């Protein structure tokens, strides 16, 4: 498929009573390195990638657009588009080969860059984006809406219209961080200064404060601290809590303070209030030609961080069903270390409509090949009958001279065989030429919304070409034997008189 792996492992929700098929419809499950290692060690498995899917709203930049009013006059308006997409978080183990084949601008990140975004040409055109642009994305968690910036690194066009409209790619680490599924800590800066003019910083998590322990540069304290110029330029914030299994979860935030011409924080305020801008993962405060920037860096994802499941690549796709059944026997109905049950699903099960359509196309191919062979046999048979009728006098003379029926029949079979070979040579030259033109310039295009492809695909194999030519010669020569029986019914007296 390209957008997903042949097999994926995701969570089963026992309360649903029905297995979810598509991985992006499954509930998140904690990442387990033990599970990933088990899957990687399976024979025939060449890749195991944890992935996370989250619904997201992307917002375009403001741009000018001309519209025609009812009065007929043109006017310029400021527009801003939004698009609902499914964001897929991947890490450095993800196989980008399919996307790389269809990249039309930019370059797919070699490593899982934190804020990198890879999207389709369809989404880019709808939102007026190009490579290098900053994208504002909104995520909705259980208790709040989160907005984060991304940077467009690559734009692709796969030809799969449905997927191109819905799917965008980013870093798994960053998507876990902003989606609120993993225990995380983030920083909030109060717009109101403290009574002494210092800055108030607050650590915010997705759990109640009384269930979290906060550590600021090695000192245990509350979720709030004060900071003033002259304080530490780097602050390590560590938040710890206990999950439902009794295990300790933690998250770290590294704060870096940069300032310009600033002696006290109060110099940035008006009536003890400051103007704060959040951009590129940094809080920016400025005023009176002075500024303060607080950069927030978060470490990578870890054991227990939530994912949608594991995508599994195979060395041999033809062994899909066998490997899937083997993994089902090994994993299904057996809780993992976090007590979750998992299911094993193949891409054929998840995209049953698409593969049914492909199977139907295969049936059409067999029907067309059969009809072509039948037409070829009829044409060759008709040709040899015409040749025999035209040369009836020749047959009579050969019989009068003592030639056997079989020796005369072989003459006509050889002549028809020469015509067959000549036709195959011309047909091969024409066919190979058309295939080359299609592979090079995609002369014959398709509607991607119907066929999931933008052009007729060509897979050229010399072995298949030779096999088809050989079978064509054999079938046609065998078919010539029957029409050549007419030779046995020709008598020398009548054939010579026929002249």
pLDDT band at 37 (very low <50, low <70, confident <90, very high): confident
In eight-state DSSP terms, residue 272 is: T
Note whether residue 71 is domain-resident: no
Can you give the pLDDT at residue 322?
93
**143 vs 161: CA distance, rounded Å:** 34
Note whether residue 317 is domain-resident: yes
Can you give the pLDDT at residue 300?
45
Mean pLDDT confidence for 28-38: 84
Contact 498, 393 (CB under 8 A): yes
Within 90-171, residue ranges assigned H as helices are 97-101, 121-127, 161-166
Note whether residue 461 is domain-resident: yes
Note whether residue 1 is domain-resident: no
Note whether residue 440 is domain-resident: yes
Together in a domain, 344 and 235: no
Together in a domain, 172 and 318: yes
Can you give the pLDDT at residue 15?
59
In eight-state DSSP terms, residue 42 is: S
Note whether residue 70 is domain-resident: no
Q: Mean pLDDT over all residues of the chain?
A: 84
Q: Which of 333, 350, 367 is the last residue of a domain?
A: 350
Contact 301, 329 (CB under 8 A): no
CB atoms within 10 A of CB 296: 16
Together in a domain, 81 and 140: yes
Residue range 145-175, pLDDT digits in tens: 778 889 999 999 887 878 888 999 998 878 8
Backbone phi, psi, residue 81, to 5°: -95, 155
Nearest by Cα to 137 from 147, 152, 125: 147
Helix (H) or strand (E) holding 296: strand 290-297
Note whether residue 83 is domain-resident: yes
- Residue 293 scores a pLDDT above 90: yes
Nearest by Cα to 252 from 214, 223, 279: 214
Who's near 276: CB < 8 A, 6+ residues apart?
189, 191, 283, 284, 285
Together in a domain, 206 and 269: yes
Can you give the pLDDT at residue 49?
92
Q: Which of 297, 319, 334 is the last residue of a domain?
A: 297
- Provide the number of structural domains found in the chain: 3
Tokens, residue 305 = 């961080």
**122 vs 138: CA distance, rounded Å:** 19
**234 vs 256: CA distance, rounded Å:** 5
Together in a domain, 471 and 324: no
Residue at token pair 């980008």: 96
Note whether residue 2 is domain-resident: no
Together in a domain, 176 and 43: yes
Together in a domain, 392 and 491: yes
Can you give the pLDDT at residue 246?
66
**312 vs 36: CA distance, rounded Å:** 10
Can you give the pLDDT at residue 301?
45
- 13-22, 134-143, 412-421 — most confident range: 412-421
Backbone phi, psi, residue 425, to 5°: -60, -50
pLDDT band at 240 (very low <50, low <70, confident <90, very high): confident
Together in a domain, 369 and 221: no
Q: Which of 263, 280, 297 is the last residue of a domain?
A: 297
Q: Which range marks the domain in which residue 22 is found?
A: 7-65+76-182+303-350
Together in a domain, 55 and 158: yes
Residue range 82-118, pLDDT digits in tens: 899 999 999 888 989 889 988 999 999 876 677 899 9
- Residue 239 scores a pLDDT above 90: no
Mean pLDDT confidence for 297-301: 58
Residue range 418-461, pLDDT digits in tens: 888 998 999 999 999 999 999 989 888 887 767 777 788 888 88
Tokens, residue 444 = 């014959």
Share of the chain above pLDDT 70, in %: 92
**52 vs 299: CA distance, rounded Å:** 17
pTM of structure: 0.66
- Residue 314 scores a pLDDT above 70: yes
Together in a domain, 363 and 376: yes
Contact 255, 237 (CB under 8 A): yes
Backbone phi, psi, residue 2, to 5°: 95, -45
Together in a domain, 127 and 17: yes
Asked which of 39-48, 241-250, 389-398 is least confident by mean pLDDT, the reply is 241-250
Q: Is the dihedral of CA 140, 143, 144, 150 positive or negative?
A: negative
**14 vs 328: CA distance, rounded Å:** 16
Query: Who wins on pLDDT, 245 or 465?
Result: 465
Can you give the pLDDT at residue 132?
92
Q: What is the largest CA-CA distance in the chain?
A: 130
Helix (H) or strand (E) holding 321: helix 320-331
Mean pLDDT confidence for 31-36: 84
Query: Who wins on pLDDT, 191 or 77?
Result: 191
Helix (H) or strand (E) holding 241: strand 234-242
Together in a domain, 372 and 429: yes
Can you give the pLDDT at residue 497?
66
């Amino acid at each position: 498929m390209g957008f997903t792996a042949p097999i994926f492992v995701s969570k089963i929700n026992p309360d649903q009573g029905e297995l979810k098929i598509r991985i992006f419809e499954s509930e998140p499950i904690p990442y387990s390195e033990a599970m990933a290692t088990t899957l990687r060690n399976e024979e025939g498995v060449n890749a195991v990638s944890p992935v996370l899917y989250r619904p997201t709203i992307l917002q375009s930049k403001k741009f000018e657009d001309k519209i025609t009013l009812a009065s007929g006059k043109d006017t310029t308006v400021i527009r801003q588009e939004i698009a609902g997409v499914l964001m897929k978080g991947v890490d450095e183990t993800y196989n980008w080969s399919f996307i790389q084949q269809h990249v039309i601008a930019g370059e797919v990140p070699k490593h899982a860059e934190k804020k990198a975004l890879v999207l389709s040409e369809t989404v880019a055109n709808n939102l007026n984006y190009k490579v290098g642009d900053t994208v504002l994305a909104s995520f909705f968690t259980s208790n709040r809406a989160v907005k984060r910036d991304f940077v467009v690194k690559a734009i692709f066009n796969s030809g799969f219209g449905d997927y191109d409209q819905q799917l965008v790619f980013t870093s798994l680490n960053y998507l876990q961080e902003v989606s609120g599924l993993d225990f995380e800590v983030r920083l909030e800066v109060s717009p109101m200064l403290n009574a002494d003019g210092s800055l108030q910083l607050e650590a915010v998590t997705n759990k109640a404060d009384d269930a979290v322990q906060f550590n600021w540069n090695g000192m245990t304290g509350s979720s709030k601290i004060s900071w003033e110029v002259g304080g530490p330029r780097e602050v390590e914030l560590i938040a710890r809590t206990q999950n439902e299994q009794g295990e300790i979860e933690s998250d770290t935030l590294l704060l870096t303070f940069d300032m310009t011409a600033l002696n006290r924080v109060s110099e940035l305020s008006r009536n003890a209030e400051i103007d704060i801008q959040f951009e590129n993962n940094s809080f920016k405060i400025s005023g009176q030609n002075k500024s303060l920037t607080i950069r927030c860096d978060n470490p990578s994802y870890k054991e227990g961080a939530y994912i949608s499941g594991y995508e599994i690549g195979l060395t041999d796709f033809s062994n899909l069903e066998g490997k899937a059944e083997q993994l089902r026997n090994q994993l299904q109905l057996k809780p993992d270390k976090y007590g979750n049950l998992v299911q094993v699903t193949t891409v054929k099960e998840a995209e049953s409509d698409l593969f049914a359509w492909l199977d139907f196309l295969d049936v059409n191919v067999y029907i067309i090949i059969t009809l072509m062979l039948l037409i070829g046999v009829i044409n060759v048979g008709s040709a040899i009958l015409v040749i025999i009728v035209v040369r009836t006098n020749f047959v009579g003379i050969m019989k009068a001279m003592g030639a056997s029926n079989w020796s005369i029949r072989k003459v006509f079979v050889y002549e028809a065989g020469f015509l067959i070979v000549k036709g195959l040579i011309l047909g091969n030259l024409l066919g190979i030429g058309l295939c080359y033109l299609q592979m090079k310039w995609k002369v014959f295009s398709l509607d991607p919304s119907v066929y999931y492809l933008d052009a007729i695909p060509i897979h050229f194999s010399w072995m298949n070409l030779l096999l088809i030519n050989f079978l064509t010669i054999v079938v046609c020569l065998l078919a010539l034997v029957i029409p050549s029986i007419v030779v046995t019914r020709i008598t020398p007296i009548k054939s010579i008189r026929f002249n």
